[in-house]
Amino acid sequence: MQSVAWWMVLVLLSHCFLFAPFANAQSLAAADLLIFNAKVWTVDSTHPTAQAVAVLRDRIVTVGSNSDAEAWRGPHTQTIDAAGMLLLPGFNDAHVHFVSGGMQLDSIQLNDASSKEEFARRIGDRAKRTTKGEWILGGDWDETKWSPQVIPTRGLIDPLTPDTPVFVSRYDGHMVLANSVALRLAGITAQTPDPPGGVIVRDDQGNPTGALKDAAMDLAAKGIPPLSHDQRLHAVQRAMQHALSLGVTSVQHMDPDYADVALYSELRQRGERSVRIYAAPLITDVDDQAKIGIRHAFGDPFLRIGALKAFADGSLGSRTAYFYEPYVDQPSTRGLLSDEMHPISLMRDRMLKADAAGLQICTHAIGDEGISTILDLYSEIVQAHGEADRRFRIEHAQHMAAKDFDRFAELHVIASVQPYHAIDDGRFAEARIGRDRASRTYAFRTFLNHGVRLAFGTDWDVAPLDPMLTIYAAVTRATLDGKNRNGWFPEQKLTVAEAIEAYTMGSAFAEFQENEKGSITPGKLADMVLLSQDIFSIEPEKIRQTKVLKTFVGGKLVWDANAGAGRN
């Protein structure tokens, strides 16, 4: 039996007495929730498995046998018979774009369009149903699924959208296609120069094709009307419900608008809390948090800030990830440093200011030189300010230079990675960067062998939010095109236990919350998920078919597959 410390019980009981002076001691000590007959995988190395869990208020008080939990039963205790199903800690997605993910659930869907003609048809159909003045947004298109694999142009969709502005994103979020209406509203012409860290793709005559990469996307995005409060609220509510249905109880929202954070705060104040959020606004706004003294992980269990998101480069899919050597299939480029890195001294100054203020730094870096450059900057911070528990993060950490694995470990940098990207990019990565560089793509095993901590996420809405797909990807590395059934660079596979740990304790550590959540341990928050299959014992390829039966946040049933949403 593993039970909460008696001092915590006394605190909880004294709290109960303050609000229920007429109840007897037995009822005060009773658990609010018992889950028994479960196969509990705790992600707690001191007590890895159990049969039952007892919850008092929002905390776990006992993890042990059915009889251990039964001692906490009272007349009003809710009981759930898990019928032998697998109970895990709630999943913590270390890297999402939560509001845009919620919006995408209702936006045009282009990711599975199998040809440029189908891509155009869907946009044309959407334009017919779009109110005048509204933009067509979202999309998540992927030209690598077409034959030939060509970047779409505005000429493809202009005849179908003569009056409707279109700004649809490539699924990696580093390229968009804008139609002529959107380009005109933004004032983008043949004379418009490429901004630092961005590319306006042009035809042979120098005219914009409508494809805009990285910082160039901002030129057109400025014309998009801001979300109304109700639109933002709807997107967040959709995102939260979707997350809970997948067993995601915590998310780390990268580069949110401050309006997003304000809405999260409003929902918290109204008591409409379900998914726990750690928000990391852009480092370009470092002064906003630094000047009022907020430090990392500031807030409560449902909403915290104190992190900043930076960008080093772009993406492999858009050929804007920054490499030491040129792209194999486009030798004229080796990618782009982001606009935040022009000049690099500007990024250095912002990072130094953030670190001096006690803020956590989370940097998007994908290409090998992009990653190396950020490690250089992190090293400079340590030299300038001394050793500290900073928990530097590199988001994606995709294509590593061999020399940098040791530096990752020496600087205690967390690899915040998204395994689904590996089985997606694995379809085309070698054609773009060659086999040698591809062999160090999402090198999970190599990271672990070097003592680097992994934090798992999805980058939703760039990739699906479903943790089962993420675990499947980490364990199998079977690319989405079906060409690598035994794994793309199979030496980098993880075990199911390692993948779950990265998705729970790893992600909790990445947000300074390993003492509050990430494992089913007495004293921690009662965030748990009950699965339809034992993913430890089934064939790895069947993991992606596993569903969530129940999701608990703070001991409350917030998702039940048999009934849909629970009560928040």
User: Distance between CA atoms of 543 and 500, rounded to whole angstroms?
Assistant: 12
In percent, how much of the chain has pLDDT > 90? 90
Q: Are 187 and 163 in contact (CB under 8 A)?
A: no
**Residues 328-349, mean pLDDT to the nearest whole number:** 97
CB contact at 8 A, 81 and 549: no
DSSP code string of 418-443: -HHHHHHHTTTHHHHHHHHHHTTBT-
Confidence of residue 16 (pLDDT cuts 50, 70, 90): very low
The two structure tokens encoding residue 136: 């067509």
- 465: helix, coil or strand? coil
64/72 Cα distance (integer angstroms)? 12
Helix and strand numbers, DSSP H then E, in the chain: 20, 28
* Order of strands across the sheet that contains 2-3: 2-3, 59-64, 52-56, 33-36, 78-81
Question: For residue 165, what pLDDT band results from cuts at 50, 70 and 90?
Answer: very high
| Helix (H), strand (E) at residue 381 | helix 368-385
Q: Is the pLDDT of residue 9 over 70?
A: no
Cβ count near 328 (within 10 Å): 14
Q: Report d(CA 506, CA 132) in Å as an integer.
A: 47
User: Angle between the 344-356 and 368-385 helix axes, to the nearest 10 degrees?
Assistant: 40
Task: Specify the 3-state DSSP secondary structure of 383.
Answer: helix
Calculate mean pLDDT across residues 382-404. Answer: 98
Q: Is the pLDDT of residue 27 over 70?
A: no
Q: CB of 252 within 8 A of CB of 511?
A: yes
Q: State yes or no: cis peptide before 226, omega within 30 of 0.
A: no
What letter would DSSP give residue 329? T
Give 283's strand partners: none
**50, containing H or E segment:** strand 49-50
Please report the sign of the dihedral spanned by the C-alpha atoms of residue 259, residue 365, residue 105, residue 271. Answer: negative
Is the separation of the CB atoms in 31 and 78 below 8 Å? no
Residue 376 pLDDT > 60, yes or no? Answer: yes
* pLDDT tens per residue, range 251-285: 999 999 999 999 999 999 999 889 999 999 999 99
What's the mean pLDDT in 279-299?
96
> What's the predicted TM-score (pTM) here?
0.90
Rg of the chain, C-alpha, whole Å: 24
Domains, the chain: 100-221 (3.10.310.70)
**Angle, in degrees to the nearest 10, between helices 258-269 and 229-245:** 70
Please say whether the beta carbons of 33 and 40 come within 8 A.
Answer: no
Is the pLDDT reported for residue 114 higher than 80?
A: yes
For residue 171, what pLDDT is reported?
87
Strands annotated E in 370-493:
393-396, 414-417, 454-456
CA dist., res. 456 & res. 396, Å (int): 10
| Structure tokens given for 275 | 């998914």
CB atoms within 10 A of CB 337: 23
- Looking at the DSSP assignment, which residues form a beta bridge with residue 33? 55, 78
Cα separation of 87 and 551, whole Å? Answer: 10
Tell me what pLDDT residue 1 has. 56
Confidence class of residue 222 from pLDDT cuts 50, 70 and 90? Answer: confident
User: How high is the mean pLDDT of the chain?
Assistant: 93
Total residue count of the chain as it appears in this document: 568
